[in-house]
Amino acid sequence: MPKSKIAITLEEATLERLDELVEQAMFPSRSQAIEQAVEEKLSRVQRTRLARECAKLDPVFERALAEEGLTEDVAQWPEY
């Protein structure tokens, strides 16, 4: 995937902590450490949003919707 170069501003303390991780070889570079951190945060935000949206669902309605027409189909299923 193509990458774009950007400029960011970090607090000195954050940058020092980041540099320590790079020095300890936990990340090969500042860029890769920041890229991974941003990716993890975006994934977490997306999962949180999905959980919030799922919480809005009515479980009774969702179950009825999932089972709609199921009684007709069950008779056609083979015995195991």
In a domain, 79, yes or no: no
pLDDT at residue 71, as a whole number: 63
pLDDT at residue 10, as a whole number: 95
In a domain, 69, yes or no: yes
pLDDT at residue 14, as a whole number: 96
Domain count, the chain: 1
Say how far apart CA 77 and CA 80 lie, in whole Å. 9
Using a cut of 0.85, tell me whether the model's pTM lies above it. no
pLDDT at residue 72, as a whole number: 63
In a domain, 43, yes or no: yes
Which ranges constitute the DSSP H helices of the chain?
Answer: 12-23, 30-55, 59-67, 70-74
Q: 């056609």: which residue's tokens?
A: 76
The 10s digit of each residue's pLDDT in 25-59 is 999 999 999 999 999 999 988 888 888 888 788 88
User: What is the domain range of residue 40?
Assistant: 12-74
In a domain, 6, yes or no: no
In a domain, 42, yes or no: yes
In a domain, 53, yes or no: yes
